[in-house]
Structure 1
């Protein structure tokens, strides 16, 4: 998947320069001001934001503060660009939640490395969550707001895990979000669709039940919402690279 970057700057030359530098590696969305940026955020899955600080209307500090305080977008890393070479400006950028702060003029190599590191670190966390049987979903949180969101989402899935037909509409209603907004949030935060997140939650619960050594596999498959044990076994193998039986055999003997 090609990551999507939103670039916000009222300077056309900067937008053109960054398009040349980043366009071959990432899917880019360009905005000349905060209002246009808001429209893009409402319509697209964005993985990272690069914003100038000095802009008419909504400046970079205010934009960053708005993004980081909104549950729909607060997981998105933000790089602030500025010509302000002052300690105070740097502190203010960090206070509003910026993930990185780069002074103009900057080298394209520095920016590319900063972007790659932010995205790579998030991908590592996502992959770790998906492949680790006992890792809590909140490991993917990048803020208290994200943590509360993921906790509420996970609690709902866990409490309905025996139900085979949990879907995005049920989740959206519980989270008080539109279907589209919830999809974008989950996809951007975890790289998973809501269905994939539900499936992984079922399989993680199954792994914990297997570890308890109190139930047969066909019982566990039903306890986590699978009507077919063969489908359960195939999905377990796909996510954890071993069958439920192989996983059981790796557990310490009593």
Structure 2
């Protein structure tokens, strides 16, 4: 069988203090995903801090840092709150399910569970994340739609959008400036924006500027070269080329069409 090595597998982090359960879950997932194992919440947390992870499956009862604490630390942290979190537990009660979701888990699965069910849940959460990304690409008039995100990600996206809008007239606006203002490293911010929007920071900045341009063109108060200057484009022609590429129509024709 030919395997296309260019296709990058999603990274699934498994956290459970029982090695046999880790191996049981990993055996079922390793064909489709890159699987990483951790024996407690603290070990898993440190791995997330140091590596890219696409989804987490964690037991609740673990030494050093239990599943509730592990989930809470991630969901309250702007850098990692976007990572889908599946919580496993032997507790078979409605209250324990409610607790799991209240701590920020995206899904809750009782032990013993069907490997097929877990795999379906993982695929569903990863697919939902992709749908949110696709929305960014399809909806240029709202490049930072936040409806599909959890509360922590919504706070981050609102802060990011506000920062871009406040500084879009500055031609020097870039990922380094955003990272400094958001107190994140450049790689961390890049990864966070990429996961939430499937755009690079520079693409997001450009798209936000162009979104603002459509509003200014519809208002009719500014000429094209004035809008270019207001939005931080180096020249009116540079602005027009970017606008045409994004919307398939020149700024001048867009304004005329929507009068």
TM-score interval, normalised by the smaller of the two chains: 0.7 to 0.9
Where do residues 139-178 of structure 1 align in structure 2 (5 Å cutoff)?
139=146, 142-178=149-185
Does residue 248 in structure 1 map to residue 242 in structure 2?
no
Match 1:67 to one of 74, 77, 102: 74
Query: Take 1:251 and 1:222, find their aligned partners in 2: how far apart are those partners?
Result: 22
Question: Which residue number in structure 1 is paired with residue 3 of structure 2?
Answer: none
Q: 1:138 to 1:11 in 2, by over 3 A?
A: same
User: Is 1:86–2:93 an aligned residue pair?
Assistant: yes
How high is the TM-score relative to the length of structure 1? 0.85
Deviation at 1:231, TM superposition (A): 4.3
Return the match for 1:37 from 39, 44, 52: 44
Partners of 2:34 and 2:180 lie apart in 1 by 31
Which structure 2 residues correspond to residues 197-208 of structure 1 after superposition, within 5 A?
197-208=204-215
The CA deviation at 1:93 is: 0.7
Alignment of 1:212-251 (within 5 A): 212-240=219-247, 242-245=248-251, 248=254, 251=257
For residues 158 and 143 of structure 1, what CA distance do their matches in structure 2 show? Answer: 22
Q: 1:119 and 1:251 mapped to 2: Cα distance? A: 39
Give the superposition deviation at 1:243: 2.9
> C-alpha separation between the residues in 1 aligned to 2:94 and 2:40?
25
Q: Is contact 1:138–1:147 with CA below 8 Å preserved after alignment?
A: no
Change (3 A) 1:245 1:206: closer
Task: Give the whole-Å Cα distance in 2 for the aligned partners of 1:60 and 1:7.
Answer: 11
Give the Å deviation of 1:90: 1.1
Q: What do you get for the CA RMSD once the two structures are aligned? A: 2.6
- Deviation for aligned residue 1:102: 0.9
Change (3 A) 1:174 1:96: same
Change (3 A) 1:119 1:235: farther
Runs of 4+ in 1 over 6 A off after TM superposition: none
**Contact 2:224–2:252, Cα closer than 8 Å, also in 1:** no
1:251 Cα deviation (Å)?
4.9
Aligned partners of 2:89 and 2:110 also within 8 Å? yes
How has the CA–CA distance of structure 1 residues 115 and 237 changed in structure 2, closer, same or farther, with 3 Å as cutoff?
A: farther
Contact 2:41 2:64 in 1 (8 A): yes
Residue 147 of structure 1 and its aligned partner are, at CA, apart by 2.2
SS of the residue corresponding to residue 64 of structure 2 reads: coil
Unaligned segments of structure 1, at least 5 residues? none
Contact 1:141/1:150 (8 A) holds in 2: no
Q: CA deviation at 1:80?
A: 0.7
Task: Structure 2: state its 5+ residue gaps.
Answer: 1-7
